[in-house]
Structure 1
């Protein structure tokens, strides 16, 4: 229960701090940078070495990519059926596909399944969502917007220089290694900052403006991200007869709210900024209800 209180309180604090203009406009970026450069790498180094190579380790990777693939196809089909503009289609290809699998995924999955689930959350996030953000997200923003150009070199550098990814590579080589207790405590202290800092940053960036003309793509985006995506994950797990902690974590991760970074990328690329922000903002709040119902159903 305390995990949910922390989630709601941290987001509310960030939201009201933003409304009261207490922090500078750069505060969300600074908090996210701290999480990305310090908190998340510490958690990865602390948790990933606890894993052992097995089929369970591959489940989150397989599920994440298959869910994103089929969701993207669905978005393209719906966009064609409803004749969405290029900007709206590009927005949905980002915010309806990429989930908030770390900043929201870690505290929510931890609240339902405990700390033993975190390594699978990190695998899903780092080897699934993050790589998709770096490669797929960059391509989509480039393709649907005339404001940016992208090259294979830029994409490669983004992936190879991303701190959590560097930590992940190091952590994979340390699998099975038992850290010195002092090092473990230091890593645990830094990793414990990820939840409050990331969620306050989420609150600082929440926007709830929803133009009436955007209601249709808004509804479709949240339907695909919060409802259809976890259904796809469930079907995948059923097909392969996966019924364990790794599969449940993967299904929960597939149901996470739209990624804030994806919304930011869409906005910076000029892909329906108001719509993108609304989908992310409302999606985070609605996801508390949908993930609760989902966990009750699959557990």
Structure 2
């Protein structure tokens, strides 16, 4: 429960900081830059370098790799057909295609399925969601952002995106079986621990909810897709191929619940950085987190019943 309280507290702090006159208006963008250039690279080095590679980890990892391309295809096609603005399409893809499989997902999964469930959640998050947000999400943000780019420029943007660059370094360390430990590991852990409070405070600073925002149908398209349709895809797909009991049953249950988590905080950071409707990106996270607590009850009932 402490993690849930921290989420609420940090968002509230961000809302109050926005009301302080002397507080810099560009503070959220500065905080996001710190997260992208310092914290996310630290997380890559800390976790990706330690993942044990085996065939058993494939299904949990694939959750994000299935959902994000599907989101891209769906909103890309619908947005083009109905003439939506490019920044709206980009925001819906980046935020609607990635779940908060880590900070919100970890404590919920551990509370329901214990340590064994948490191990699967880490696989959904680190080599799954985290790599997707560091690669595919940057490609989408570059394509739909306000600044038009050539394919060569997009490739350069992805390769030089700090979290992805450090993911490649961490993957190389993993393959070379180089272990990060001692003082360097402690430093990385300290930096990584600032992700959630800083990111959520930045979200709170951009969270300005009024009647006009709540009426924005694009917001509800994103939340409806993220909380209902995305987990439905994993529910059906994994339900067809996995045994509902034993280890496979646990993979099935955790994968569905993780797919149904609220939009990822990091995806909101990327949407803001690339000017993909920053306000809506913050709302997708700010409203998505409390709403996901309700929708997850539905998904828990379904995976335990069917």
TM-score tier after normalising by the smaller chain length = 0.7 to 0.9
Alignment partners' CA distance in 2, 1:74 and 1:194: 30
Worse overlay, 222-231 or 108-117: 108-117
Query: Residue in 1 aligned with 2:128?
Result: 124
Alignment partners' CA distance in 2, 1:73 and 1:179: 38
- Give the gaps of 5 or more residues in structure 1: 142-146
Query: Residue in 2 aligned with 1:109?
Result: 105
Residues 168-196 of structure 1 show CA distances to partners (whole Å, capped at 9, x for unaligned) of 11111222433332222222111111121
2:84 is the counterpart of 1:86: yes
Q: Does the 8 A contact of 1:137 with 1:262 survive in 2?
A: yes
Query: Residue in 1 aligned with 2:291?
Result: 286
Secondary structure of 2:65 counterpart: helix
1:245–1:166 CA distance, 2 compared to 1 (3 A): farther
Worse overlay, 224-233 or 131-140: 131-140
CA RMSD in angstroms comes to 3.4
Deviation at 1:21, TM superposition (A): 3.8
Query: Residue in 1 aligned with 2:158?
Result: 159
Alignment partners' CA distance in 2, 1:54 and 1:200: 37
Q: Does the 8 A contact of 1:99 with 1:254 survive in 2?
A: no
The match for 2:138 among 134, 140, 149 is: 134
Query: Residue in 1 aligned with 2:268?
Result: 260
Query: Residue in 2 aligned with 1:227?
Result: 228
Query: Residue in 1 aligned with 2:170?
Result: 171
Deviation at 1:6, TM superposition (A): 1.0
Q: Does the 8 A contact of 1:68 with 1:98 survive in 2?
A: no
Alignment of 1:1-299 (within 5 A): 1-21=1-21, 23-75=23-75, 84-87=82-85, 91-96=88-93, 98-99=95-96, 101=98, 104-113=100-109, 116=119, 117-118=121-122, 120-141=124-145, 148-175=147-174, 176-211=177-212, 214-241=215-242, 243-244=249-250, 248=254, 251-253=257-259, 255-257=261-263, 259-261=267-269, 263-264=271-272, 268=275, 278-279=283-284, 281-291=286-296, 294=299, 298=303
Worse overlay, 39-48 or 5-14: 39-48
Secondary structure of 2:103 counterpart: helix
Alignment partners' CA distance in 1, 2:260 and 2:197: 22
Secondary structure of 1:155 counterpart: helix
Alignment partners' CA distance in 1, 2:134 and 2:43: 15
1:263–1:50 CA distance, 2 compared to 1 (3 A): closer
1:183–1:276 CA distance, 2 compared to 1 (3 A): closer
Residues 244-267 of structure 1 show CA distances to partners (whole Å, capped at 9, x for unaligned) of 45972575155332632465368x
Q: Does the 8 A contact of 1:208 with 1:277 survive in 2?
A: no
Q: Give the structure-2-normalised TM-score.
A: 0.77
